[in-house]
Amino acid sequence: MTALLTTGREQTRARYPDEEGFAERDGVRLFWERYGDGEPTVLLPPTWEIVHARFWKAQIPYLARHTRVVTFDPRGNGRSDRPDGFEAYARREFAADALAVLDATGVDRAVVVSWCDMGESLLLAAEHPERVAGLVFIGPPMSDREPDQGHYPFDSDPGTDEGWAKETRGYWLRDWPGYLEFFFAMCFTEPHSTKQVEDCVGWAKDTDMETILAGFRGWETKIIPPAEVAALGRRVRCPVLVIHGTEDAQSEAWRGEELARLLGGRLVLLEGAGHAPHARDPVKVNGLVADFAGVAGNGTAPATRTWTRALRRPKRALYLSSPIGLGHARRDLAIARELRARVPGLEIDWLAQDPVTRVLEAEGERIHPASAWLANESTHIERESAEHDLHAFQAIRRMDEILVANFMVFHDVVREQPYDLWVGDEAWELDYFLHENPEEKRAAYVWLTDFVGWLPMPDGGEREAFLTADYNAEMIEHIARFPRLRDRAVFVGNPGDIVPDRFGPGLPAIRDWVEDHYDFAGYVTGFDPAGLGDREELRRDLGYRPDERVCVVTVGGSGVGGHLLRKVIAAYPEARRRVPGLRMVVVAGPRIDPASLPSADGLEVHPYVHGLYRHLAACDLAVVQGGLTTCMELTAARRPFLYFPLAHHFEQNFHVAHRLGRYNAGRRMEFATATPEVVADAIATEIGREVDYRPVETDGASRAAALIAELL
């Protein structure tokens, strides 16, 4: 695999700095950021200039919730200057930069957490002990015994381009991207690390080879020499923690062991981990750092706490409902209602975010206050989308920082408050990081989803096929290794709804595997079509006259659908000519401003509409995106509809389309080729049509609740 998927555009952060600025030292400007407040300050300095401050992205949001965090870009990368000359990149300069940043941010004293520290943090702690309250070294390459020399002299010609031969001036000049990929693959020796490697390569490309080359003449000149390590080490007085992966292929674990011994510090070995565990095992490293710095323990505990005797506790569930779209919220509410009926006295807290919280609040549900700390996923999804185009797989991949930040919120919540049960409806952060950190499981856990399997889009080529298969393989390995972590895995649907594909080359057929590992609840509509009563009455209730033809246009809750709304609105004049008395009701949803849409006579534009399913059940035609929930609501209500899957959205294009095909429901449209005339024609053809859909079960919520209630 050589093609990289770095887009060059920074992905959505889970948290943005509260303050940023430049510190200037000897004419070199250093870009710093401050997040959060409180004591002690945690300084996350850069390593060498191959990456910049973003490589702390999995730590910042968590630590900043508990204390003040300061980062800065190294000279030579990010938004810091790129001074000239080899001497400008000496470790002593980096140590002085850290000091300058502490001064610029008004920090007297900090806990310094370093990755691959080549001596700068050691210099800082030894020469400025009053400024360093504690030192954490992650994967340090320093040693007081022997220098880290690299495999070939940097200026030699090894006569091959294989392996570490890439770490030579000659190869750098020939194939700098090739070196970066190799170098970071050696940082992440753990399987399934594609995203971490891509991130690092991307950050390396935020500077250029010439800058790196200016400061590099081989590791033995980059890292401070053994005698200096020994001399400085004797002067360090503060507490020290060394974290080292046993499979670190950049810096052998004995280096960390010996550094811990030299400094009288504690050592935590992460077995099986590589050179950058803060990126690959962020939950574990976050916990170690927070414990060491004392930032997430008693020091920040609220002044009053309550612990309830076990037998005194009401049964309590924590429900995580995916905020991407509104569909999960509706079905989760239905399941929660059924669950309460089966388990009297059950209390349910929701860890949820906008727009799910709007639905929950309207229903009087209890939203856990820590929900306010969740980084917003919908905002990220909107940023990832183009005109009716959302690469769902990459969008979720590029949400890794948000996912770990939100898992850490969950982690803090369940340490504070015991629950009998956790339910995660497509709560990716919960399911993924629980399997990565299975010791964090402390309640019964139910996983719900309506699709299984990341599938590549054809135009993603070989690389995307490889990545989706790798993600599927990791999930399959997770479940095989920890089969009891999910106490229940509930598929919202039936075996026939599962796509006929495989998880990837050499991997199981999705349907076989899902049938082995899931229970099936049937579809959960979130409402009972029979409960809507007589359709004529419903239309009267909603103000739709019997003789008018009502077309409802909606794009769900995610805010990605503005382009579709505009396209359908553009088709309205022609459609109205073809369908006399056509009334078009456009629902912008909670995240699109209705005022941003064009208006026309006979056209109504509404913001969020509570109980939208009633309008869908009453209409003569609906025009929607390819999201599962809305399409299935229309299928259950037996209304004709046009659906436009988002381009590059594997779930809408494959999983949902397959399921709708099985129900013989809806007419699939392609956004790219649908001119207003095509849309108007489809509206005219489909409106009011009698349908022969396969009936949708109405007991899905009850069946799901029955599966879950057994755990309570």
> Would you tell me which residues interact with other proteins (CB under 8 A)?
111, 133-134, 239, 266, 291-294, 297-299, 301-309, 311-312
Answer for the pair 510, 503: CB distance below 8 angstroms, yes or no: yes
Can you point out the beta strands (E) in 626-689?
641-644, 667-668
Q: Output 347 or 604, the one with its CB closest to other proteins.
A: 347
Answer for the pair 95, 127: CB distance below 8 angstroms, yes or no: yes
E strand or H helix at 362, and its extent? helix 356-362
Give the shortest CB-133-to-other proteins separation in angstroms. 7
Give the shortest CB-560-to-other proteins separation in angstroms. 45
Give the shortest CB-134-to-other proteins separation in angstroms. 5
Give the shortest CB-128-to-other proteins separation in angstroms. 18
Give the shortest CB-586-to-other proteins separation in angstroms. 51
For residues 76 and 621, give the distance between their C-alpha atoms in angstroms, rounded to a whole number.
Answer: 59
* Measured CA angle at 169 (ends 167, 174), to 5 deg: 95
Give the shortest CB-302-to-other proteins separation in angstroms. 8
For residues 343 and 321, give the distance between their C-alpha atoms in angstroms, rounded to a whole number.
Answer: 20
Answer for the pair 289, 262: CB distance below 8 angstroms, yes or no: no
Which amino acid, residue 590?
A: P
Q: Output 295 or 623, the one with its CB closest to other proteins.
A: 295
Give the shortest CB-308-to-other proteins separation in angstroms. 4
Give the shortest CB-280-to-other proteins separation in angstroms. 24
Q: Which two tokens stand for residue 362?
A: 């309207």
**534: exposed, middle or buried (Cβ count in 10 Å: 0-12, 13-18, 19+):** exposed
Spatial CA neighbour of 626 closest among 524, 556, 698, 571: 556
Give the shortest CB-633-to-other proteins separation in angstroms. 42
Q: Output 309 or 484, the one with its CB closest to other proteins.
A: 309
For residues 255 and 194, give the distance between their C-alpha atoms in angstroms, rounded to a whole number.
Answer: 26
Q: Output 308 or 599, the one with its CB closest to other proteins.
A: 308
Q: Output 300 or 698, the one with its CB closest to other proteins.
A: 300
Q: Output 308 or 596, the one with its CB closest to other proteins.
A: 308
106: Cβ–Cβ under 8 A, 6 or more apart, which residues? Answer: none
For residues 94 and 116, give the distance between their C-alpha atoms in angstroms, rounded to a whole number.
Answer: 13
Q: Output 312 or 484, the one with its CB closest to other proteins.
A: 312
Helix axes 226-235, 120-127, angle to 10 degrees: 40
Q: Output 288 or 390, the one with its CB closest to other proteins.
A: 288
Q: Which two tokens stand for residue 166?
A: 């890439």
Please state the φ and ψ torsions of residue 2, each to the nearest 5 degrees.
Answer: -115, -30
Q: Output 302 or 546, the one with its CB closest to other proteins.
A: 302
Please state the φ and ψ torsions of residue 388, each to the nearest 5 degrees.
Answer: 45, 45
Q: What is the CB neighbour count within 10 angstroms for residue 533?
A: 12
Give the shortest CB-132-to-other proteins separation in angstroms. 11
Q: For 379, what's the count of Cα atoms within 13 Å in the CB-facing half-sphere?
A: 11
Q: Output 134 or 256, the one with its CB closest to other proteins.
A: 134
